[in-house]
Structure 1
Amino acid sequence: MMNQEHKIARVLTFIVKEGDEHTENVRSFLRGYHGLSRSLLVELKQTKGILLNGVSTYLDHPLTEGDVVELCLPEEESENIVPQPIPFVSLYEDEDVLIVNKEAGLCVHPTMLHPDGTLGNAVVYHWLAQGVSRKFRPVNRLDKDTSGLLIIARSQYAHQQLADVQRAGGIKRQYEAFVHGIMSRDEGVIDAPIKRRDDSIMERMVHPDGQWARTNYTVLGRYQGFTHVRLVLETGRTHQIRVHMGHIGHPLLGDDLYGGTQEKIKRQALHSRRLSFPHPHTKEWLSFEAPLPPDMEAIKR
């Protein structure tokens, strides 16, 4: 059994099936077939958190069809995030993931400028109220004033699995925004590298020396002086949508950092509308949608 000094937060079960690849031993089965990181395997080895057929095992132990491998993930402290009873909208939660519809104005993670009052403080409080201790691990990030869907991993395993999926482009995200001006084309692609401005710690810009960035857009509606667009990212650069739309002369409404004005809305009119990804453990495809918040709906009226 697992070392009793470590309280178990989650037990993951894997069964060795006929024809499974990478089943020479426990290490190759978990690393090669189930994609566990080396660091997580080392941590579980130290806590005696890897069981083979109910008994603590070693990584070189050979496997046969029908063997049951269990990972006993220990509880984790929430680092320096102070739990605070801040309301937030949860759309889905299980042992591995939490899906949140974040409101505009709420920081995701504590920072020097916003040490508390964030989604991280709210989620840690939410988990402690359930009687569990977890680290706050957002998978995708949203700016403070961007609303919409956010994935939060409830364990190191889930975060590592989803981070790998994200790097491979397996997390599908759709945003909606309102931009200044009437866009003439119904759809298009913005392929322009992005880098941080030399004179700013926050602002980004299109520059030949930047990182590759690509944004796809589709016009959803044209109004008096502005356009409603759907945006799909192929890369995930900081402020990518905001920089790209400003770059082509259609900055987001409310985005005064990148050329927009706040006549119709007091924050960038950007919302993470749809999100889909494979579950980190079951691999079942999950899809979520969050309607436009009231402040963005009001723009169309």
Structure 2
Amino acid sequence: MESFDWKVTEQQKSNRIDKLLTTLNEDWSRTQIQLWIKDEHLKVNNNKVKSNYKVEEGDHITLVIPEPEELEITAENIKLDIVFEDEDVIVINKPRGMVVHPAPGHYSGTLVNALMYHCKDLSGINGVIRPGIVHRIDKDTSGLIMVAKNDMAHESLVDQLKAKTTRRLYKAVVHGIIPHEHGTIDAPIGRDKKDRQSMTVTEDNSRDAVTHFTVLERFDNYTYVQCELETGRTHQIRVHMKYIGYPLVGDPKYGPKKNSFDIEGQALHAAVLGFIHPRTKEELTFEVPNPTDLEDLLHLLRTK
């Protein structure tokens, strides 16, 4: 059972309590928070409140998260592209279109369903829904993801992510021609007030976000880039590239509504992943080539 404590700052005051908490932890949905409030797992100044309670500066918020329900997540014999595996860690090259872990509307066909069939020893820190999952990549982003097979490995990998010592390089195709060779986008990301399912660059209840990019190739009104994550916010590369005026090709949420190319989802691939092995302390780096659809897109742009 996990517990959390916060004190409301001046910048956070006047927000609804359920809305505020979605900005404090990206993994919590507003619906889930409202259920915790209803069941009195969340209190303000040791008093129960309603979901529409507007917080005041100095309010002390406490949340005790109940143990996850024992949901039946089925092991499924889904082929995995395993890049590395030992007793502690497994690194997967996830295909575009695969959801990482079960969620409403996606209780089968996920990476977790496949992992449960492949190996029985996944860390339990994230409960039954997300066993072993240390970080995520979006459903329509392909590429490398690391999974912990025990709690020791899980804690080590999470600590490395927090310390910004992991290496995560992505390849992407964006709209527009970026004129400079390198750049750094240092812009905080938070929930979009107008669309709670989207993220945006904002100072309101945001978290620091830094993306470094390098131009790899330029085409007629498109650019092929490499992006390196310093932080790992939800949709970070997609939001940051849109913010500077170069949204990802094929991005259904942050790009142009019309998709001119035959690619499902954003043209984004997690190509390189590096971390320190939790047990051996060896520095490991893995790299996988672009998927076929991204290579086809690049070929089309080169020959236009």
Distance 2:225 2:241 in 1: 10
Distance 1:276 1:89 in 2: 17
Aligned position for 1:186: 181
Aligned position for 1:267: 265
Distance 1:133 1:140 in 2: 14
Aligned pairs for 1:127-142 (under 5 A) are: 127-128=119-120, 135=124, 136-142=131-137
Distance 2:153 2:247 in 1: 36
Amino acid across the alignment from 1:279:
H
Contact 2:215 2:224 survives alignment (8 Å): yes
Distance 1:133 1:164 in 2: 18
Distance 2:188 2:252 in 1: 21
Please give the root-mean-square deviation of Cα atoms over the aligned residues, in Å: 1.5
Deviations 1:123-171 (A, max 9, x none): 000114xxx5764212221000000000000001110111111111111
TM-superposed CA distance for 1:256, in Å, is 2.4
Match of residue 95, structure 2, among 91, 95, 103: 103
What is the TM-score of this pair, normalised by structure 2?
0.70
What is the TM-score of this pair, normalised by structure 1?
0.71
Distance 2:98 2:197 in 1: 17
Distance 2:179 2:296 in 1: 23
Contact 1:222 1:228 survives alignment (8 Å): yes
Aligned position for 1:52: none
| Structure 1 portions without partners, runs of 5+ | 1-77
TM-superposed CA distance for 1:79, in Å, is 6.3
SS at match of 2:297: helix
Aligned residue pairs, count: 221
Contact 1:137 1:152 survives alignment (8 Å): yes
Distance 2:84 2:71 in 1: 24
SS at match of 1:91: strand
Identity of aligned residues (%): 45
Aligned position for 1:246: 242
TM-superposed CA distance for 1:179, in Å, is 0.2
Q: Which 4+ residue blocks in structure 1 deviate beyond 3 angstroms? A: 132-135
The 3 A distance-change label for structure 1 pair 195 and 133 is closer
Deviations 1:178-223 (A, max 9, x none): 0001111111111111111123332011112221111100000001
Aligned position for 2:211: 215
The 3 A distance-change label for structure 1 pair 299 and 118 is same
Aligned position for 1:71: none
Deviations 1:232-261 (A, max 9, x none): 111111001000001111000000211234
Aligned position for 1:284: 282
SS at match of 1:137: coil
Amino acid across the alignment from 1:171:
T
Is 1:295 the equivalent of 2:277? no
Is 1:147 the equivalent of 2:147? no
Match of residue 86, structure 2, among 94, 116, 122: 94
Is 1:204 the equivalent of 2:202? no
Contact 1:127 1:134 survives alignment (8 Å): no
SS at match of 1:203: strand
Distance 1:190 1:80 in 2: 42
The 3 A distance-change label for structure 1 pair 83 and 211 is same
Amino acid across the alignment from 1:198:
K
Match of residue 126, structure 1, among 102, 118, 121: 118
Contact 2:122 2:150 survives alignment (8 Å): no
SS at match of 1:140: coil
Contact 1:223 1:300 survives alignment (8 Å): no
Distance 2:266 2:154 in 1: 28
Distance 2:248 2:217 in 1: 15
TM-superposed CA distance for 1:80, in Å, is 3.4
SS at match of 1:189: strand
Larger radius of gyration between Structure 1 and Structure 2: 1
Aligned pairs for 1:215-234 (under 5 A) are: 215-234=211-230
| Structure 2 portions without partners, runs of 5+ | 1-69, 125-130, 300-304
Distance 2:71 2:215 in 1: 43
Match of residue 112, structure 1, among 104, 109, 116: 104
Aligned position for 1:60: none
